[in-house]
Structure 1
Amino acid sequence: MQKFLEEIVATIGASDDRGQVASYIPQLACVDPNQFAITVATVDGQLYVAGDSDKLFSIQSISKVFTLTLALGKLGDAIWSRVGREPSGDPFNSIVQLEHESGKPRNPFINAGALAIVDAILMGHQPKETLAEILQFVRYLAEDDTIAIDDKVARSELETGDRNASLAHFMASFGRLKNPVDYVLGTYFHHCSIAMSCRQLARAGLFLAGDGKNPVTGVRVVSPRRARRINSLMLMCGHYDGSGEFAYRVGLPGKSGVGGGILAIAPGRASIAVWSPGLDKIGNSKLGSAALEKLVEHTGWSIFG
Protein backbone atom coordinates (compact mmCIF):
# COMPACT_ATOMS: atom_id res chain seq x y z
CA MET A 1 0.00 0.00 0.00
CA GLN A 2 2.76 2.46 0.92
CA LYS A 3 4.56 1.89 -2.37
CA PHE A 4 1.33 2.28 -4.31
CA LEU A 5 0.45 5.58 -2.60
CA GLU A 6 3.90 6.90 -3.42
CA GLU A 7 3.31 5.91 -7.05
CA ILE A 8 0.01 7.85 -7.02
CA VAL A 9 1.82 10.94 -5.71
CA ALA A 10 4.55 10.54 -8.34
CA THR A 11 2.10 10.18 -11.24
CA ILE A 12 -1.33 11.70 -10.55
CA GLY A 13 0.09 14.15 -8.02
CA ALA A 14 2.49 15.50 -10.63
CA SER A 15 -0.18 16.17 -13.27
CA ASP A 16 -0.29 19.59 -14.94
CA ASP A 17 -4.07 19.48 -15.42
CA ARG A 18 -4.97 20.18 -11.79
CA GLY A 19 -8.26 22.09 -12.07
CA GLN A 20 -8.84 25.51 -10.48
CA VAL A 21 -8.70 26.47 -6.81
CA ALA A 22 -11.92 27.88 -5.34
CA SER A 23 -11.84 31.63 -5.97
CA TYR A 24 -15.20 32.73 -4.56
CA ILE A 25 -13.73 32.42 -1.04
CA PRO A 26 -10.71 34.76 -1.27
CA GLN A 27 -8.68 32.96 1.37
CA LEU A 28 -8.96 29.67 -0.58
CA ALA A 29 -7.85 31.40 -3.75
CA CYS A 30 -4.45 31.93 -2.09
CA VAL A 31 -3.75 28.21 -1.67
CA ASP A 32 -0.88 26.71 -3.72
CA PRO A 33 -2.53 24.36 -6.26
CA ASN A 34 0.61 22.20 -6.57
CA GLN A 35 0.05 20.42 -3.25
CA PHE A 36 -1.19 16.84 -3.12
CA ALA A 37 -1.72 14.32 -0.32
CA ILE A 38 -3.24 10.91 0.27
CA THR A 39 -3.67 8.95 3.50
CA VAL A 40 -5.20 5.52 4.06
CA ALA A 41 -6.19 4.50 7.60
CA THR A 42 -7.13 0.81 7.69
CA VAL A 43 -9.47 -0.87 10.18
CA ASP A 44 -6.59 -2.99 11.48
CA GLY A 45 -4.79 0.14 12.67
CA GLN A 46 -2.34 0.75 9.83
CA LEU A 47 -1.76 4.27 8.55
CA TYR A 48 -0.24 4.88 5.12
CA VAL A 49 0.65 8.45 4.11
CA ALA A 50 2.13 10.02 0.99
CA GLY A 51 2.63 13.54 -0.29
CA ASP A 52 1.68 16.56 1.84
CA SER A 53 -0.34 14.48 4.32
CA ASP A 54 0.54 16.65 7.32
CA LYS A 55 -0.31 19.93 5.61
CA LEU A 56 -3.44 21.59 7.02
CA PHE A 57 -6.24 22.60 4.66
CA SER A 58 -9.79 23.87 5.03
CA ILE A 59 -12.08 20.84 5.06
CA GLN A 60 -15.10 22.94 4.08
CA SER A 61 -18.10 20.69 3.25
CA ILE A 62 -16.43 17.52 4.53
CA SER A 63 -17.34 18.94 7.95
CA LYS A 64 -21.00 18.29 7.05
CA VAL A 65 -20.42 14.57 7.66
CA PHE A 66 -19.51 15.34 11.26
CA THR A 67 -22.34 17.84 11.86
CA LEU A 68 -24.85 15.35 10.41
CA THR A 69 -23.52 12.68 12.77
CA LEU A 70 -23.94 15.08 15.71
CA ALA A 71 -27.47 16.06 14.63
CA LEU A 72 -28.52 12.42 14.34
CA GLY A 73 -27.19 11.86 17.85
CA LYS A 74 -29.27 14.75 19.18
CA LEU A 75 -32.51 14.36 17.22
CA GLY A 76 -32.40 10.87 15.74
CA ASP A 77 -34.69 10.34 12.76
CA ALA A 78 -36.62 13.50 13.65
CA ILE A 79 -33.90 15.34 11.72
CA TRP A 80 -35.50 14.16 8.48
CA SER A 81 -38.47 16.44 9.06
CA ARG A 82 -36.03 19.32 8.46
CA VAL A 83 -33.95 17.99 5.58
CA GLY A 84 -34.43 15.32 2.91
CA ARG A 85 -32.34 12.35 1.83
CA GLU A 86 -32.39 12.66 -1.95
CA PRO A 87 -29.67 13.71 -4.42
CA SER A 88 -30.14 17.29 -5.54
CA GLY A 89 -28.93 17.26 -9.14
CA ASP A 90 -28.24 20.97 -8.70
CA PRO A 91 -25.13 22.95 -7.72
CA PHE A 92 -24.30 22.91 -4.00
CA ASN A 93 -25.42 26.51 -3.49
CA SER A 94 -28.60 26.44 -5.61
CA ILE A 95 -31.75 28.15 -4.35
CA VAL A 96 -34.06 26.73 -7.03
CA GLN A 97 -35.23 23.59 -5.22
CA LEU A 98 -35.89 25.45 -1.99
CA GLU A 99 -38.56 27.47 -3.76
CA HIS A 100 -40.22 24.40 -5.25
CA GLU A 101 -40.08 22.39 -2.03
CA SER A 102 -41.24 24.91 0.57
CA GLY A 103 -37.78 25.68 1.93
CA LYS A 104 -36.91 22.09 2.86
CA PRO A 105 -33.42 21.23 1.54
CA ARG A 106 -33.04 18.08 -0.53
CA ASN A 107 -30.18 16.56 1.54
CA PRO A 108 -27.78 17.41 4.41
CA PHE A 109 -24.72 17.89 2.18
CA ILE A 110 -25.82 20.75 -0.05
CA ASN A 111 -25.35 24.15 1.56
CA ALA A 112 -29.01 24.68 2.41
CA GLY A 113 -29.18 21.23 3.98
CA ALA A 114 -26.08 21.88 6.07
CA LEU A 115 -27.65 25.12 7.30
CA ALA A 116 -30.71 23.15 8.40
CA ILE A 117 -28.41 20.72 10.25
CA VAL A 118 -26.64 23.60 12.02
CA ASP A 119 -30.01 25.02 13.04
CA ALA A 120 -30.91 21.64 14.55
CA ILE A 121 -27.64 21.38 16.47
CA LEU A 122 -27.84 24.92 17.86
CA MET A 123 -30.94 24.17 19.96
CA GLY A 124 -31.11 27.74 21.23
CA HIS A 125 -27.46 27.90 22.29
CA GLN A 126 -24.92 30.55 21.34
CA PRO A 127 -22.83 29.85 18.20
CA LYS A 128 -19.62 29.72 20.24
CA GLU A 129 -21.01 26.91 22.40
CA THR A 130 -22.15 24.91 19.39
CA LEU A 131 -18.86 25.45 17.56
CA ALA A 132 -16.97 24.24 20.61
CA GLU A 133 -19.12 21.11 20.59
CA ILE A 134 -18.52 20.47 16.87
CA LEU A 135 -14.78 21.05 17.21
CA GLN A 136 -14.55 18.82 20.26
CA PHE A 137 -16.38 16.05 18.38
CA VAL A 138 -13.98 16.25 15.43
CA ARG A 139 -10.99 16.21 17.79
CA TYR A 140 -12.47 13.18 19.54
CA LEU A 141 -12.93 11.31 16.26
CA ALA A 142 -9.41 12.10 15.07
CA GLU A 143 -7.85 11.62 18.51
CA ASP A 144 -6.12 14.97 18.07
CA ASP A 145 -6.72 18.00 20.29
CA THR A 146 -4.68 20.29 18.04
CA ILE A 147 -7.41 20.51 15.37
CA ALA A 148 -8.71 24.08 15.14
CA ILE A 149 -10.74 26.51 13.05
CA ASP A 150 -8.86 28.64 10.52
CA ASP A 151 -10.08 32.11 11.51
CA LYS A 152 -8.82 33.72 8.29
CA VAL A 153 -10.91 31.36 6.18
CA ALA A 154 -13.96 31.85 8.45
CA ARG A 155 -13.65 35.63 8.15
CA SER A 156 -13.26 35.33 4.38
CA GLU A 157 -16.44 33.25 4.20
CA LEU A 158 -18.37 35.68 6.40
CA GLU A 159 -17.36 38.58 4.15
CA THR A 160 -18.33 36.84 0.90
CA GLY A 161 -21.21 34.60 2.05
CA ASP A 162 -24.11 36.43 0.41
CA ARG A 163 -25.35 33.35 -1.44
CA ASN A 164 -25.45 31.26 1.75
CA ALA A 165 -27.12 34.15 3.59
CA SER A 166 -29.76 34.17 0.84
CA LEU A 167 -30.36 30.45 1.32
CA ALA A 168 -30.73 30.85 5.07
CA HIS A 169 -33.10 33.82 4.84
CA PHE A 170 -35.17 32.03 2.20
CA MET A 171 -35.48 28.97 4.47
CA ALA A 172 -36.39 31.23 7.39
CA SER A 173 -39.17 32.77 5.30
CA PHE A 174 -40.76 29.30 5.19
CA GLY A 175 -40.37 28.92 8.97
CA ARG A 176 -37.67 26.29 8.50
CA LEU A 177 -35.13 27.81 10.92
CA LYS A 178 -35.71 27.95 14.68
CA ASN A 179 -32.62 30.02 15.53
CA PRO A 180 -31.58 33.52 14.35
CA VAL A 181 -30.22 33.46 10.80
CA ASP A 182 -26.98 35.16 11.90
CA TYR A 183 -26.39 32.41 14.48
CA VAL A 184 -26.90 29.71 11.87
CA LEU A 185 -24.65 31.40 9.31
CA GLY A 186 -21.86 32.15 11.77
CA THR A 187 -21.79 28.58 13.01
CA TYR A 188 -21.90 27.20 9.48
CA PHE A 189 -19.07 29.38 8.14
CA HIS A 190 -16.86 28.50 11.09
CA HIS A 191 -17.38 24.73 11.02
CA CYS A 192 -16.61 24.75 7.29
CA SER A 193 -13.36 26.52 8.19
CA ILE A 194 -12.01 23.69 10.35
CA ALA A 195 -8.44 22.97 9.20
CA MET A 196 -7.20 19.38 9.10
CA SER A 197 -4.50 17.32 7.45
CA CYS A 198 -5.17 14.17 5.44
CA ARG A 199 -3.68 12.18 8.31
CA GLN A 200 -6.18 13.69 10.77
CA LEU A 201 -9.11 13.43 8.38
CA ALA A 202 -8.55 9.76 7.57
CA ARG A 203 -8.47 8.98 11.30
CA ALA A 204 -11.65 10.97 11.90
CA GLY A 205 -13.52 8.91 9.30
CA LEU A 206 -12.52 5.51 10.68
CA PHE A 207 -15.76 5.03 12.60
CA LEU A 208 -17.65 4.98 9.29
CA ALA A 209 -15.33 2.26 7.99
CA GLY A 210 -15.81 0.28 11.21
CA ASP A 211 -19.61 -0.01 11.18
CA GLY A 212 -19.97 2.91 13.57
CA LYS A 213 -17.12 1.95 15.89
CA ASN A 214 -13.52 3.14 15.77
CA PRO A 215 -11.81 -0.20 15.09
CA VAL A 216 -8.53 1.00 16.57
CA THR A 217 -9.80 2.33 19.91
CA GLY A 218 -12.90 0.14 20.14
CA VAL A 219 -15.03 3.19 20.96
CA ARG A 220 -18.52 3.15 19.41
CA VAL A 221 -19.50 6.48 17.87
CA VAL A 222 -22.83 5.53 16.26
CA SER A 223 -24.84 2.36 15.79
CA PRO A 224 -24.05 0.08 12.81
CA ARG A 225 -27.40 1.05 11.28
CA ARG A 226 -26.65 4.76 11.54
CA ALA A 227 -23.14 4.35 10.11
CA ARG A 228 -24.58 2.55 7.09
CA ARG A 229 -27.11 5.32 6.56
CA ILE A 230 -24.49 8.08 6.77
CA ASN A 231 -22.38 6.15 4.26
CA SER A 232 -25.36 5.77 1.93
CA LEU A 233 -25.98 9.52 1.99
CA MET A 234 -22.30 10.15 1.26
CA LEU A 235 -22.53 7.84 -1.75
CA MET A 236 -25.69 9.47 -3.12
CA CYS A 237 -25.10 13.11 -2.21
CA GLY A 238 -21.50 13.62 -1.11
CA HIS A 239 -20.26 15.17 -4.35
CA TYR A 240 -23.22 17.43 -5.14
CA ASP A 241 -24.35 17.10 -8.76
CA GLY A 242 -21.20 15.05 -9.42
CA SER A 243 -22.22 12.32 -6.96
CA GLY A 244 -23.37 9.92 -9.65
CA GLU A 245 -20.12 10.30 -11.58
CA PHE A 246 -18.08 9.72 -8.40
CA ALA A 247 -20.11 6.60 -7.55
CA TYR A 248 -19.66 5.37 -11.12
CA ARG A 249 -15.90 5.92 -11.22
CA VAL A 250 -14.87 5.30 -7.61
CA GLY A 251 -17.70 3.28 -6.07
CA LEU A 252 -17.17 4.44 -2.47
CA PRO A 253 -19.12 6.69 -0.12
CA GLY A 254 -17.33 10.02 -0.14
CA LYS A 255 -17.65 13.67 0.84
CA SER A 256 -15.83 16.45 -0.94
CA GLY A 257 -15.08 20.04 0.03
CA VAL A 258 -14.15 23.06 -2.06
CA GLY A 259 -10.88 23.24 -0.13
CA GLY A 260 -9.84 20.31 -2.36
CA GLY A 261 -10.23 17.51 0.16
CA ILE A 262 -12.21 14.29 -0.13
CA LEU A 263 -13.00 11.81 2.64
CA ALA A 264 -13.84 8.38 1.21
CA ILE A 265 -14.96 5.31 3.12
CA ALA A 266 -14.30 1.68 2.18
CA PRO A 267 -16.67 -0.05 4.64
CA GLY A 268 -14.95 -2.75 6.64
CA ARG A 269 -11.58 -1.82 5.15
CA ALA A 270 -10.37 1.77 5.42
CA SER A 271 -10.95 5.50 5.70
CA ILE A 272 -9.19 7.44 2.95
CA ALA A 273 -8.40 11.15 2.74
CA VAL A 274 -7.05 12.89 -0.34
CA TRP A 275 -6.28 16.54 -0.95
CA SER A 276 -5.48 18.51 -4.06
CA PRO A 277 -6.73 22.13 -4.06
CA GLY A 278 -7.61 22.32 -7.77
CA LEU A 279 -11.30 21.64 -8.46
CA ASP A 280 -13.20 20.37 -11.47
CA LYS A 281 -16.09 22.39 -12.93
CA ILE A 282 -18.53 20.96 -10.38
CA GLY A 283 -16.37 21.87 -7.39
CA ASN A 284 -14.74 18.54 -6.49
CA SER A 285 -10.99 17.91 -6.26
CA LYS A 286 -9.87 16.96 -9.76
CA LEU A 287 -6.72 15.03 -8.88
CA GLY A 288 -8.21 13.75 -5.63
CA SER A 289 -11.03 12.04 -7.53
CA ALA A 290 -8.56 10.55 -10.01
CA ALA A 291 -6.37 9.26 -7.17
CA LEU A 292 -9.32 7.56 -5.49
CA GLU A 293 -10.36 5.95 -8.76
CA LYS A 294 -6.83 4.58 -9.17
CA LEU A 295 -6.74 3.38 -5.55
CA VAL A 296 -9.99 1.47 -5.91
CA GLU A 297 -8.80 -0.14 -9.14
CA HIS A 298 -5.68 -1.31 -7.31
CA THR A 299 -7.39 -2.55 -4.12
CA GLY A 300 -10.76 -3.72 -5.41
CA TRP A 301 -12.45 -1.78 -2.57
CA SER A 302 -15.45 -0.58 -4.57
CA ILE A 303 -18.67 -1.40 -2.70
CA PHE A 304 -19.99 -2.75 -5.98
CA GLY A 305 -17.41 -5.52 -6.11
Structure 2
Amino acid sequence: MRLFPQTSTARGPLSPALLALAALTAMLAPLVATTPQPSPAAAAEPRRAGCVEASGPFHVGTTTVTVSSRGRDLPATVAYPATSDGAGATPVCRVSPLVLAGHGSGGDGASAAALHGYLVEAGYVVAAPTFPGGFDIAGYAKDVRRTLTTVRAVSDRSGGLLSGRVRQGGPVGYIGTSMGAIVGLALVDSDQRDGRIRAVVAKAGTSFDPTFRPVGGPPLLMLNGDADTVIPYAGARETYQQARRTKGLITLSGVGHDLDTGGDPVLRTTSTAFLDRFLRSRDHALGRLQRIVSESEVASLRKRW
Protein backbone atom coordinates (compact mmCIF):
# COMPACT_ATOMS: atom_id res chain seq x y z
CA MET A 1 0.00 0.00 0.00
CA ARG A 2 1.31 3.45 -0.98
CA LEU A 3 1.39 6.18 1.64
CA PHE A 4 1.36 8.83 -1.12
CA PRO A 5 -0.14 8.72 -4.63
CA GLN A 6 2.33 8.01 -7.41
CA THR A 7 3.40 11.24 -9.23
CA SER A 8 3.81 11.11 -12.99
CA THR A 9 7.20 12.25 -14.29
CA ALA A 10 5.32 13.97 -17.11
CA ARG A 11 4.40 16.66 -14.62
CA GLY A 12 8.01 17.46 -13.88
CA PRO A 13 10.33 16.64 -10.96
CA LEU A 14 9.13 16.62 -7.36
CA SER A 15 9.78 19.74 -5.34
CA PRO A 16 12.59 19.60 -2.73
CA ALA A 17 9.98 19.63 0.06
CA LEU A 18 8.12 16.64 -1.37
CA LEU A 19 11.40 14.79 -1.94
CA ALA A 20 12.33 15.30 1.71
CA LEU A 21 8.90 14.13 2.90
CA ALA A 22 9.10 11.05 0.67
CA ALA A 23 12.53 10.20 2.05
CA LEU A 24 11.31 10.56 5.65
CA THR A 25 8.32 8.34 4.87
CA ALA A 26 10.59 5.69 3.39
CA MET A 27 12.69 5.66 6.57
CA LEU A 28 9.65 5.42 8.88
CA ALA A 29 7.77 2.75 6.94
CA PRO A 30 9.84 -0.22 8.29
CA LEU A 31 9.34 1.05 11.84
CA VAL A 32 5.57 1.27 11.37
CA ALA A 33 5.46 -2.21 9.85
CA THR A 34 7.40 -3.77 12.73
CA THR A 35 5.69 -2.04 15.64
CA PRO A 36 4.68 -4.87 18.06
CA GLN A 37 0.95 -5.45 18.20
CA PRO A 38 -0.84 -6.63 21.35
CA SER A 39 -0.80 -10.42 21.51
CA PRO A 40 -4.01 -12.38 22.15
CA ALA A 41 -2.62 -13.23 25.59
CA ALA A 42 -2.08 -9.56 26.38
CA ALA A 43 -5.57 -8.75 25.20
CA ALA A 44 -6.86 -11.31 27.70
CA GLU A 45 -5.10 -9.66 30.65
CA PRO A 46 -7.44 -8.86 33.56
CA ARG A 47 -8.89 -5.40 33.90
CA ARG A 48 -6.48 -3.33 35.94
CA ALA A 49 -8.54 -0.21 36.66
CA GLY A 50 -8.59 0.53 40.37
CA CYS A 51 -5.92 -1.98 41.36
CA VAL A 52 -2.24 -1.74 42.28
CA GLU A 53 0.66 -3.99 41.32
CA ALA A 54 2.09 -5.76 44.38
CA SER A 55 3.74 -9.02 45.34
CA GLY A 56 2.82 -11.38 48.18
CA PRO A 57 2.31 -12.05 50.94
CA PHE A 58 -0.72 -9.84 50.44
CA HIS A 59 -2.90 -7.84 52.76
CA VAL A 60 -6.55 -8.87 53.20
CA GLY A 61 -9.26 -6.63 51.78
CA THR A 62 -12.94 -7.42 52.26
CA THR A 63 -16.24 -6.63 50.62
CA THR A 64 -19.77 -8.04 50.79
CA VAL A 65 -21.91 -9.45 47.99
CA THR A 66 -25.54 -10.56 48.09
CA VAL A 67 -26.28 -14.15 47.10
CA SER A 68 -29.80 -15.13 46.05
CA SER A 69 -30.32 -18.74 47.10
CA ARG A 70 -33.39 -20.80 47.93
CA GLY A 71 -35.73 -17.83 47.72
CA ARG A 72 -33.78 -15.56 50.07
CA ASP A 73 -30.84 -13.16 49.98
CA LEU A 74 -27.71 -14.13 51.91
CA PRO A 75 -24.73 -11.91 52.66
CA ALA A 76 -21.36 -13.34 51.65
CA THR A 77 -18.07 -11.85 52.79
CA VAL A 78 -15.39 -11.90 50.11
CA ALA A 79 -11.75 -11.48 51.15
CA TYR A 80 -9.25 -10.66 48.40
CA PRO A 81 -5.53 -9.86 48.00
CA ALA A 82 -5.13 -6.14 48.68
CA THR A 83 -2.56 -3.42 49.33
CA SER A 84 -3.87 -2.86 52.88
CA ASP A 85 -6.17 -4.60 55.34
CA GLY A 86 -9.84 -3.88 55.82
CA ALA A 87 -13.16 -3.25 54.10
CA GLY A 88 -12.89 -1.67 50.66
CA ALA A 89 -9.08 -1.89 50.50
CA THR A 90 -7.51 -1.39 47.06
CA PRO A 91 -7.15 -4.79 45.37
CA VAL A 92 -3.91 -6.13 43.96
CA CYS A 93 -3.76 -6.49 40.17
CA ARG A 94 -3.99 -10.26 39.90
CA VAL A 95 -6.48 -12.98 38.97
CA SER A 96 -6.83 -15.40 41.88
CA PRO A 97 -8.27 -18.87 42.36
CA LEU A 98 -11.48 -18.92 44.39
CA VAL A 99 -11.93 -20.79 47.67
CA LEU A 100 -15.37 -20.98 49.29
CA ALA A 101 -15.46 -21.10 53.09
CA GLY A 102 -18.10 -22.51 55.45
CA HIS A 103 -18.53 -21.35 59.04
CA GLY A 104 -19.45 -23.26 62.19
CA SER A 105 -22.88 -23.17 63.83
CA GLY A 106 -21.94 -20.18 65.98
CA GLY A 107 -20.25 -18.19 63.23
CA ASP A 108 -21.04 -16.31 60.05
CA GLY A 109 -19.49 -15.50 56.69
CA ALA A 110 -17.37 -12.67 58.09
CA SER A 111 -15.81 -14.91 60.74
CA ALA A 112 -15.12 -17.67 58.21
CA ALA A 113 -13.46 -15.21 55.83
CA ALA A 114 -11.32 -13.81 58.67
CA LEU A 115 -10.33 -17.29 59.85
CA HIS A 116 -9.00 -18.12 56.39
CA GLY A 117 -7.21 -14.83 55.75
CA TYR A 118 -3.97 -16.79 55.46
CA LEU A 119 -5.23 -18.12 52.13
CA VAL A 120 -5.77 -14.56 50.91
CA GLU A 121 -2.22 -13.68 51.98
CA ALA A 122 -1.09 -16.59 49.78
CA GLY A 123 -3.00 -15.25 46.76
CA TYR A 124 -6.48 -16.77 46.94
CA VAL A 125 -9.88 -15.06 47.00
CA VAL A 126 -12.05 -16.44 49.83
CA ALA A 127 -15.85 -16.17 49.65
CA ALA A 128 -17.89 -17.11 52.72
CA PRO A 129 -21.71 -17.01 52.81
CA THR A 130 -23.61 -16.60 56.05
CA PHE A 131 -25.86 -19.63 56.34
CA PRO A 132 -29.41 -19.12 57.63
CA GLY A 133 -30.32 -20.61 61.02
CA GLY A 134 -30.86 -24.30 61.53
CA PHE A 135 -28.88 -27.30 60.44
CA ASP A 136 -29.90 -27.76 56.80
CA ILE A 137 -26.70 -29.24 55.39
CA ALA A 138 -28.13 -29.96 51.93
CA GLY A 139 -29.52 -26.42 51.78
CA TYR A 140 -26.18 -24.94 52.87
CA ALA A 141 -24.42 -26.92 50.14
CA LYS A 142 -26.75 -25.24 47.64
CA ASP A 143 -25.94 -21.85 49.19
CA VAL A 144 -22.25 -22.57 48.59
CA ARG A 145 -22.87 -23.41 44.96
CA ARG A 146 -24.89 -20.22 44.48
CA THR A 147 -22.13 -18.20 46.14
CA LEU A 148 -19.62 -19.59 43.67
CA THR A 149 -21.79 -18.54 40.73
CA THR A 150 -22.49 -15.10 42.19
CA VAL A 151 -18.88 -14.22 43.02
CA ARG A 152 -17.71 -15.20 39.56
CA ALA A 153 -20.48 -13.11 38.02
CA VAL A 154 -19.54 -10.08 40.15
CA SER A 155 -15.89 -10.47 39.13
CA ASP A 156 -16.89 -10.64 35.48
CA ARG A 157 -18.61 -7.23 35.58
CA SER A 158 -16.88 -3.94 34.86
CA GLY A 159 -16.18 -1.78 37.87
CA GLY A 160 -16.17 -2.71 41.54
CA LEU A 161 -13.52 -4.06 43.89
CA LEU A 162 -13.76 -7.62 42.54
CA SER A 163 -13.82 -6.75 38.85
CA GLY A 164 -11.40 -9.08 37.08
CA ARG A 165 -10.00 -10.40 40.34
CA VAL A 166 -11.45 -13.94 40.35
CA ARG A 167 -10.45 -16.66 37.92
CA GLN A 168 -13.48 -17.50 35.77
CA GLY A 169 -12.47 -20.98 34.67
CA GLY A 170 -10.50 -23.71 36.34
CA PRO A 171 -10.92 -25.43 39.69
CA VAL A 172 -12.45 -23.94 42.84
CA GLY A 173 -11.76 -25.04 46.42
CA TYR A 174 -13.83 -25.34 49.57
CA ILE A 175 -12.73 -25.16 53.21
CA GLY A 176 -14.95 -25.43 56.28
CA THR A 177 -14.83 -25.90 60.04
CA SER A 178 -17.24 -27.89 62.24
CA MET A 179 -20.68 -27.40 60.63
CA GLY A 180 -18.86 -25.87 57.67
CA ALA A 181 -16.78 -29.06 57.42
CA ILE A 182 -19.96 -31.15 57.37
CA VAL A 183 -21.15 -28.97 54.47
CA GLY A 184 -17.84 -29.64 52.72
CA LEU A 185 -18.33 -33.38 53.08
CA ALA A 186 -21.82 -32.97 51.62
CA LEU A 187 -20.15 -31.37 48.59
CA VAL A 188 -18.08 -34.55 48.25
CA ASP A 189 -21.28 -36.62 48.25
CA SER A 190 -22.64 -37.44 44.80
CA ASP A 191 -26.04 -35.85 45.61
CA GLN A 192 -24.65 -32.39 46.43
CA ARG A 193 -21.51 -32.35 44.32
CA ASP A 194 -20.53 -29.41 42.10
CA GLY A 195 -18.07 -30.22 39.33
CA ARG A 196 -16.43 -26.81 39.68
CA ILE A 197 -15.25 -27.64 43.22
CA ARG A 198 -12.07 -29.68 42.82
CA ALA A 199 -10.69 -29.81 46.37
CA VAL A 200 -12.33 -29.91 49.81
CA VAL A 201 -10.70 -29.29 53.20
CA ALA A 202 -12.88 -30.36 56.16
CA LYS A 203 -11.72 -29.38 59.66
CA ALA A 204 -13.32 -30.94 62.75
CA GLY A 205 -16.12 -32.49 60.71
CA THR A 206 -17.65 -35.77 59.69
CA SER A 207 -20.56 -36.97 57.56
CA PHE A 208 -23.80 -37.78 59.37
CA ASP A 209 -25.51 -38.87 56.16
CA PRO A 210 -26.18 -42.64 56.23
CA THR A 211 -26.31 -42.62 52.42
CA PHE A 212 -22.95 -40.80 52.04
CA ARG A 213 -21.67 -41.61 48.53
CA PRO A 214 -18.21 -40.08 48.02
CA VAL A 215 -17.15 -42.20 45.03
CA GLY A 216 -15.82 -39.96 42.27
CA GLY A 217 -15.79 -36.89 44.49
CA PRO A 218 -13.09 -34.21 44.62
CA PRO A 219 -9.81 -34.69 46.53
CA LEU A 220 -10.46 -34.48 50.27
CA LEU A 221 -8.31 -33.46 53.22
CA MET A 222 -9.75 -33.97 56.71
CA LEU A 223 -8.21 -32.52 59.88
CA ASN A 224 -9.60 -33.87 63.16
CA GLY A 225 -8.54 -33.84 66.79
CA ASP A 226 -8.59 -37.20 68.55
CA ALA A 227 -9.83 -35.48 71.75
CA ASP A 228 -12.88 -33.93 70.04
CA THR A 229 -16.01 -34.49 72.14
CA VAL A 230 -18.37 -32.76 69.67
CA ILE A 231 -17.39 -34.63 66.50
CA PRO A 232 -16.12 -37.99 67.75
CA TYR A 233 -12.83 -38.91 66.15
CA ALA A 234 -14.07 -42.44 65.44
CA GLY A 235 -16.83 -41.04 63.24
CA ALA A 236 -14.39 -38.82 61.35
CA ARG A 237 -12.11 -41.78 60.75
CA GLU A 238 -15.06 -43.80 59.40
CA THR A 239 -15.96 -40.98 57.00
CA TYR A 240 -12.35 -40.91 55.82
CA GLN A 241 -12.41 -44.66 55.21
CA GLN A 242 -15.58 -44.31 53.10
CA ALA A 243 -14.01 -41.66 50.88
CA ARG A 244 -12.01 -42.69 47.85
CA ARG A 245 -8.63 -41.45 46.81
CA THR A 246 -7.36 -38.79 46.51
CA LYS A 247 -7.71 -38.27 50.29
CA GLY A 248 -5.84 -37.52 53.48
CA LEU A 249 -6.62 -37.52 57.21
CA ILE A 250 -4.49 -35.41 59.54
CA THR A 251 -4.95 -36.50 63.14
CA LEU A 252 -4.22 -33.86 65.78
CA SER A 253 -3.09 -35.59 68.95
CA GLY A 254 -4.77 -34.37 72.14
CA VAL A 255 -6.66 -31.62 70.26
CA GLY A 256 -10.36 -30.98 70.85
CA HIS A 257 -13.12 -29.48 68.74
CA ASP A 258 -11.64 -25.98 69.11
CA LEU A 259 -8.64 -27.16 67.03
CA ASP A 260 -6.24 -25.47 69.44
CA THR A 261 -2.85 -26.77 68.36
CA GLY A 262 -0.90 -24.69 70.85
CA GLY A 263 0.60 -22.38 68.25
CA ASP A 264 1.50 -25.10 65.76
CA PRO A 265 0.55 -23.65 62.32
CA VAL A 266 -0.21 -27.09 60.84
CA LEU A 267 -3.87 -26.24 60.11
CA ARG A 268 -2.93 -23.25 57.96
CA THR A 269 0.12 -24.66 56.24
CA THR A 270 -1.30 -28.07 55.31
CA SER A 271 -4.59 -26.70 54.00
CA THR A 272 -2.71 -24.15 51.88
CA ALA A 273 -0.45 -26.87 50.47
CA PHE A 274 -3.43 -29.10 49.66
CA LEU A 275 -5.25 -26.33 47.81
CA ASP A 276 -2.03 -25.34 46.03
CA ARG A 277 -1.81 -28.83 44.58
CA PHE A 278 -5.34 -29.04 43.22
CA LEU A 279 -6.15 -25.41 42.43
CA ARG A 280 -2.73 -24.26 41.24
CA SER A 281 -1.32 -27.57 39.93
CA ARG A 282 1.80 -27.28 42.08
CA ASP A 283 3.16 -30.81 41.77
CA HIS A 284 5.36 -30.70 44.87
CA ALA A 285 2.67 -29.31 47.18
CA LEU A 286 1.65 -32.71 48.59
CA GLY A 287 5.27 -33.43 49.38
CA ARG A 288 5.35 -30.10 51.21
CA LEU A 289 2.24 -31.11 53.14
CA GLN A 290 3.87 -34.37 54.20
CA ARG A 291 7.01 -32.57 55.37
CA ILE A 292 4.90 -30.13 57.41
CA VAL A 293 3.15 -33.00 59.18
CA SER A 294 6.41 -34.84 59.82
CA GLU A 295 7.84 -31.72 61.49
CA SER A 296 4.72 -31.09 63.60
CA GLU A 297 4.58 -32.14 67.25
CA VAL A 298 0.81 -32.74 67.20
CA ALA A 299 -0.02 -34.05 63.71
CA SER A 300 0.11 -37.38 61.95
CA LEU A 301 -1.08 -38.28 58.45
CA ARG A 302 -2.96 -41.09 56.77
CA LYS A 303 -3.20 -40.71 53.01
CA ARG A 304 -4.06 -42.26 49.69
CA TRP A 305 -2.64 -40.14 46.88
- Give 1 or 2 for the bigger CA radius of gyration: 2
Bigger proportion of residues as strand: 2
Q: If the length of structure 1 is used for normalisation, what is the TM-score?
A: 0.25
Bigger proportion of residues as helix: 1
